[in-house]
Amino acid sequence: MMILQAAQTAAKPETIGLGSLILAGGWLMIPLALLSAISIFIFFERFWMVRQASDKMDAGFMTKIRDLIYERKIEQAIQYCRTRRSPVARMIEKGIMNLGRPKADIQAAIENVANLEVSRLESGLPFLATTAGGAPMIGFLGTVLGMVQAFMDMAAAGGSVDLSILASGMYTAMITTVGGLVVGIPAYFGYNFLVARIEKVVFQMEANTIAFMDIVTAKENPTGGGRML
């Protein structure tokens, strides 16, 4: 009975913990871990910023702005924009502050603010894109280094090659590859997800810009159905 138990114990495969696997990957796991941590932080921080920018836009915003402008309550319109704290509100605020100037100047002022707002929303995205492409390359570098180490160990062993001799190099080769993909794939999907969300915000910004310029046009051409200030 004891012999049978000993045989079963010997036949049971040895399991390796996650920490041991990461350590077996070698020093290249350190930059991969740093890239992973920074990418996670950037994703959730950008996701929160984009979500805030989207949630603070409402369908009645431009209607309220139009009514205030038609009622000559320019200061109230500016203050209303400032209370909204959204990219669209900051764009329209700049447009209101330039009322009375040529339409081209008003539109240029709005577009300048829009470019700044989009740049602010896209902050950090280049890092995610770099991680998506760079992490698998770091993993591939680990694969090459691991295979080099394995062949060096084989050469050092001479004619008596044992699989245990190759274990260290093979661990480095395989684990860094997996680590690079584990870091790069989420970064890739996270980047594209944020880009899609930002494009929706940009579309809303463009739609509100057009609506505001229609208000300006109606103001300048009261016979076309608008009311003159």
Span 185-206, pLDDT tens digits: 999 999 999 999 999 888 888 8
Nearby residues of 146 by Cβ (< 8 Å), 6 or more positions away = 26, 169, 170, 171, 172, 173, 174, 176
| Helix, strand, coil % over all residues of the chain, rounded to 5 | 85, 0, 15
Do residues 48 and 208 touch, judged by C-beta distance below 8 A?
no
Q: How many Cβ atoms from other residues are within 10 Å of residue 210's Cβ?
A: 11
Would you say the C-alpha torsion 42, 43, 49, 53 has a positive or negative sign?
A: positive
Q: Which is higher by pLDDT, 103 or 8?
A: 103
CA diameter of the chain? 104
Q: Confidence band (pLDDT; 50, 70, 90) for 84?
A: confident
pLDDT in tens, 131-168: 999 999 988 888 887 777 766 766 666 656 566 656 65
Rounded Cα gap, residues 190 and 36, in angstroms:
12
